[in-house]
Structure 1
Amino acid sequence: MLTELELKEIEKRLNNSTKGNWIPMIEGITHDSGSDFIMTNVKNSTDFKNPERGNDIELTGGTKDDIIFIANAKQDISKLLTEIRKLKTTANNV
């Protein structure tokens, strides 16, 4: 079982990462030419002109599925932390 300290450490890493949603940009799916990358601090793949957009994250040696996984981890971890804490609270109240 994850302790609250472990959850806080995970949350700290999440909060210290580049802000906003991370969107996987995959050639042939979200755009027609260029490399695959992760766009940061945007609402969706069409938000590339957002003046608040963060720096792109480029990876070498990974697959398209790796990029999709890493980009979605930013949002997924936040949801998982919320759900774990909710379940722990429910379990403690039983």
Structure 2
Amino acid sequence: MDAYLPRANLTKANLQGADLTSANLKGAFPTEADLESADLINADLEGADLQGSNLTNANLTGSNLTNANLNGADLFGADLKGVKGVDWRRA
């Protein structure tokens, strides 16, 4: 898909099932967004504010989450293989 959405305000957006494969979401604000079952394979979410977002069953394989805010995000069932930039010991 290769969407180009750096710093986009996606607060409370309904992106359920969206194909955001290889999307540039650097510094975006999908705060409290519904990303259930979204495809975020190899997406660049560096510095994104995902606080309170629903990422249930989302595919984040190979995505970059360096400095992303995941406070309160629901990652139940999410595919996190190869995710970069997260210290899971502190999550």
What is the TM-score of this pair, normalised by structure 1? 0.20
Q: Whose Rg is larger?
A: 1
User: Taking CA–CA contacts closer than 8 Å with sequence separation of 6 or more, which of the two structures ends up with the larger relative contact order?
Assistant: 1
Higher helix share: 1
Higher strand share: 1
